[in-house]
Amino acid sequence: MSGHALTFEGVSKRYTSRGPLALDDVSFHVPRGSITGFVGHNGAGKTTAFSLVAGFLRPDAGSVDILGRGGFDPYVMKGVLGVLPQDAELPDRHTPRELLRHLCRLQGWTAGDAATEADRVLDIVRLTDRRDARIHTFSHGMRRRVAVASALVGAPPLVLLDEPLSGLDPVQQHALRDALAQLRGQQTLVISSHDLDDLERISDWVVMLKQGRCLRQGPIADVTGSKHLCSWRVSSPERVPLAVLTERLPEHRFTLRDDVLLEEAPSDGDLDQSSVVVMGLLAASAVPLRSVRRGVGLEQRFLDDVREG
């Protein structure tokens, strides 16, 4: 059995014979049981990639493999894939429970099992108390949670979620993000979002696209550099003692970008110990420290890669 829930191998796709490539020789994989952040600007190819996985499109070249079974076939892979489109429409006259029970019945569930499963996924998205209310009375954020629940019905091993947290208030975002995190290891979630801070909080694997090509993939800790990078945001950056820092920590590399001091440790370095030294030297040079974070952050890494790539 493949260790990957999803594999793209040399995939290319055009929408017209003379049009630009929406995907250009794209290769990446998604580990089973991971929560993977799918990152890219508008037009990067994320929606095309999702459509290829869901079977709405076929690749012009290359291959898409789902769970080691080849490309998606609805007759062979029943219940294997859950999909949340960005602009999913819901039937206003139904209740969430009715909608989800209907989706279960379409998959061949008995009435009793369908009711149990509908209640299970509504609990995941924190809508148990509104399960019998009409959807037309729901806010945008509540509708979005119903749509997420519909993609989770039947616990498919692979779930594609396009902007699942869009339109949710901060409390709802936090609750749903935590609920999705609980599925790590049980299901594979591929989440596309422009909110890279949210993706960084929940993801353990990242795939980055730019203009139809794969820029980067890998564990979130490696992509953001949280194991060997530290970002120090300071006031009065002109006072940062770069020469002294380099002298005291010669195996570490220091770079000043505007008001951020970036510290890069060797692979066997100890950022916890070096942080004490850096903080002491900044204080001795009267450099106010505004914030500290491990790594450069997913958003900054993506912006850097886009500029360089």
Instruction: Dump pLDDT digits (tens) for 187-232.
Output: 999 999 988 988 999 999 999 999 999 999 999 988 888 778 898 9
Residue 196 near residue 226, CB atoms below 8 Å: no
> Sorting pLDDT into bands at 50, 70 and 90, what band is 303?
confident
Taken in order of first residue, the domains within the chain and their CATH numbers are: 4-223 (3.40.50.300), 225-308 (3.30.70.270)
Confidence check: pLDDT of 265 > 70: yes
Q: Is 63 helix (H, G, I), strand (E, B) or coil?
A: strand
Q: Each residue of 84-100: pLDDT tens digit?
A: 988 888 999 999 999 99
pLDDT score of 249 more than 60:
yes
Question: Is residue 274 within 8 Å of 224, Cβ to Cβ?
Answer: no
From the DSSP assignment, how many helices (H) and strands (E) are in the chain?
10, 13
**pLDDT at site 2:** 63
Task: Look over the chain and give the mean of its residue pLDDT values, rounded to a whole number.
Answer: 92
How confident is the model over 35-76, as pLDDT tens digits?
Answer: 999 999 988 999 999 999 999 999 999 999 999 998 888 777
What pLDDT score was predicted for residue 307? 79
Question: Length of the chain, please?
Answer: 309
* Closest listed residue to residue 39, CA positions, set 168, 221, 191: 191
pLDDT digits (tens, 9 = 90+) for 196-208: 988 999 999 999 9
What pLDDT was estimated at residue 90? Answer: 92
